[in-house]
Amino acid sequence: MKIRIAGVLLLLTGMTVANAQQPINLIPQPVDVQPQRGTFTLTKTATIGYDQPKAQAAADMMAQKLNAPTGFGLRPKAGTKASIQFDLNETPNPKLGKEGYTLDASSKGVTITANEPAGLFYGMQSLLQLLPKEIESKTPAQSSWTIPAVRITDYPRFGWRGIMLDVSRHFFPKDDVKRYIDELARLKFNTFHWHLTDDQGWRIEIKSLPKLTEVGAWRVQRAGHFGNRLDPKPGEAASYGGFYTQNDIKEIIKYAQDRNVTIVPEIDVPGHSMAALAAYPELSCTKTPVSVDPGTAFSEWYGNGTFKMLVENTLNPSDEKVYEFLDKVFTEVAALFPNQYIHVGGDECYKGYWAQDPGCQALMKQLNIRHVEDLQGYFMNRVEKILKAKGKKLLGWDEILEGGISPEATVMSWRGIKGGIEAAHLGHDVVMTPTTFAYLDYQQGDNDPPIYATLRTKKSYSFEPVPDGVDAKYILGGQANLWTEQIPTLRYAEYMTYPRGWALADVYWSPKETKNWDKFVPRMEAHFDRADIAQVNYSRAVYDAIVRTSMKNGKLTLTLESEVPNLDIYYSIDDTMPDAFSTKYSQPVELPDGPITLRVITYRAGKPIGHLIVLSRDALQKRAGR
């Protein structure tokens, strides 16, 4: 009898193993995922088909993605009965919209269906994530190319799902920009905001204004932390930089279009214009020659959001030559970029030089305005008229609300969500991109080089783009921003983008109701493995301890926690290196007086997993005052 029972148990166990599904770890999380029994195994005899010419692009790209790691040499063909089939609905499914899709995988094969080619593209991205991680290899790899049987219905929550890359502070060559766009498209981001001009460089060729790239695209070479670098020396060669020719721009736009990514260019005015003024100083108030800034301390910030520029970096709003200049710039930009928006910046515009300029004072008198801040409203309205004449819509940071803008203008809310709420209540379309959730240049943990603030992946994942009391119809979606003051290479840009970019992909695509951090973590960790094979860089700061302090009854109190659940935290304050035999954290600790140094490390399953964090007493004391 015991033998029979054991045999039955063994049989049942065998059935469980045989029917076990490989985990489905998709980012972003689809609307509906229904696992089924069985798997489909991709072999060299597999076929890829498409039912309409418009579906061929997705089939072709699928073949390219599969052939490198598998070595199968698959070639798509028109038809309706392939192993991997891409079909466009003859009668659109209203639930799917323009970007949604269904994916049906069984032991017989896979069918992806959509209303539009964009949906087929996104279905293809999900299918690639269903394959083993070795599919990310750029060279032939060994794997059992199985796909779990599953039925997926999926469509995005928001129409605007963006990431901004600043190429002014550091120039990123054309191929780097393409790779970055490719990575975003795989996560179903559909908007690439390209920050092309700023104080540190002008990156787009304007043929009617050649000095913008002859002069404005180059600066002196400098090392060290941004904001503390040395000024250019007299006669020093400006050798660091670069720019995109108009042919480069067209090539990158086409590359993005093939991946269903819209590029929104940004020409940052009237502030952040030092590179433009280095080329054409006559467009400033003082007409004083300036250099393209290499990252010096050219401004003073006072901690309450106000600041003073020590070097002029602002266009003169009272000079008609400025608007002639902008008309030339936007004529060429509008001709290059097919999308409806041009981003015009509008942020952090210092008005001090305007206040001292006779021309600006005369203009204020003519306009019957008392405050110099209102000149920005005048400037932006002039810019908007230029854009409208070229068939484009104005998009800008939330400062464009100051001084009044037309109802057609679209606002990016970056100083928290307050500006977005105000703009929505005024009837403006809004893209939510607040520093508090979406600024990818911020530190991810204590081990990152210091910059303005810290933003952890869990905080990004908690972002809700539609604030309470706001009509959701005005919220186009959300965006992450990667400013590159401290990011000189694509490799480091990737490190700063991921995993926070994965978290925000969920925020902008997936249903609000499915958000769950603990369930996101295993999906994120699966993508760590895939990124390793794809040679995409990322941060592991999610495994690092979070160190907080407070003052209680005159004593410095330490609190430790982790983003990822089920980590063990060990620490020392006796100048020893902590390990799994050190003091394990369980509750807040009252720290002793004296010049102690805290060392903290995290473990999982008996193995170290996080970085070692080292903080002096002074650093701990400062945290208590935050």
Query: Is there a single domain that holds both residue 31 and residue 119?
Result: yes
Q: In angstroms, how far is the first alpha carbon of the chain from the final one?
A: 69
In CATH, what number is assigned to the domain containing residue 135? 3.30.379.10
Q: Has residue 14 been placed in a domain? A: no
| Alpha carbon 154 to chain centroid, angstroms | 22
- Residue ending a domain, among 88, 120, 154, is 154
pLDDT of residue 554: 87
Query: Is there a single domain that holds both residue 164 and residue 127?
Result: no
Range of the domain at 360: 160-541
pLDDT of residue 513: 96
Q: Has residue 6 been placed in a domain? A: no
| Alpha carbon 526 to chain centroid, angstroms | 20
Q: Has residue 329 been placed in a domain? A: yes
Which residue's entry shows tokens 């970096």?
313
User: In the structure encoding, which two tokens stand for residue 551, read together?
Assistant: 């003052």
pLDDT of residue 12: 35
Nearest to 83 by CA among 131, 121, 114, 50: 50
Residues of the chain with pLDDT under 70: 1-21, 626
Q: Is 584 helix (H, G, I), strand (E, B) or coil?
A: strand
Query: Is there a single domain that holds both residue 527 and residue 602?
Result: no
Query: Is there a single domain that holds both residue 122 and residue 192?
Result: no
Nearest to 436 by CA among 411, 399, 463: 463
| pTM reported for the whole predicted model | 0.95
Handedness of CA 159, 161, 167, 173 (dihedral sign): negative
pLDDT of residue 120: 98
In CATH, what number is assigned to the domain containing residue 449? 3.20.20.80
Q: Has residue 605 been placed in a domain? A: yes
pLDDT of residue 1: 37
Query: Is there a single domain that holds both residue 142 and residue 30?
Result: yes
Q: Has residue 364 been placed in a domain? A: yes
Q: DSSP string covering 472-492, please?
A: GGGEEEEEEEE--TT--SHHH
- Residue ending a domain, among 493, 511, 541, is 541
pLDDT of residue 406: 84
Query: Is there a single domain that holds both residue 114 and residue 33?
Result: yes
One-letter identity of residue 275: A
**Annotated catalytic sites, by residue?**
198, 272, 348
Handedness of CA 427, 431, 435, 437 (dihedral sign): positive
Specify the number of domains making up the chain.
3
Which residues are registered as beta bridge partners of 615? Answer: 598
pLDDT of residue 21: 65
Query: Is there a single domain that holds both residue 576 and residue 459?
Result: no
Query: Is there a single domain that holds both residue 121 and residue 185?
Result: no
pLDDT of residue 194: 98
User: In the structure encoding, which two tokens stand for residue 214, read together?
Assistant: 């002859």
Query: Is there a single domain that holds both residue 515 and residue 418?
Result: yes
Q: Has residue 271 been placed in a domain? A: yes
Query: Is there a single domain that holds both residue 120 and residue 165?
Result: no
pLDDT of residue 566: 95
Q: DSSP string covering 250-298, please?
A: HHHHHHHHTTT-EEEEEEEESSS-HHHHHH-GGGSSS--------S---
Q: Has residue 69 been placed in a domain? A: yes
pLDDT of residue 163: 98
Query: Is there a single domain that holds both residue 515 and residue 550?
Result: no
- Residue ending a domain, among 154, 174, 189, is 154
Query: Is there a single domain that holds both residue 133 and residue 93?
Result: yes
Separation of alpha carbons 447 and 360, rounded Å: 47
Residue 201 phi, psi (nearest 5)? 165, 140
pLDDT of residue 626: 61
In CATH, what number is assigned to the domain containing residue 565? 2.60.40
CB 84, CB 110: distance < 8 Å: yes
Q: Has residue 249 been placed in a domain? A: yes
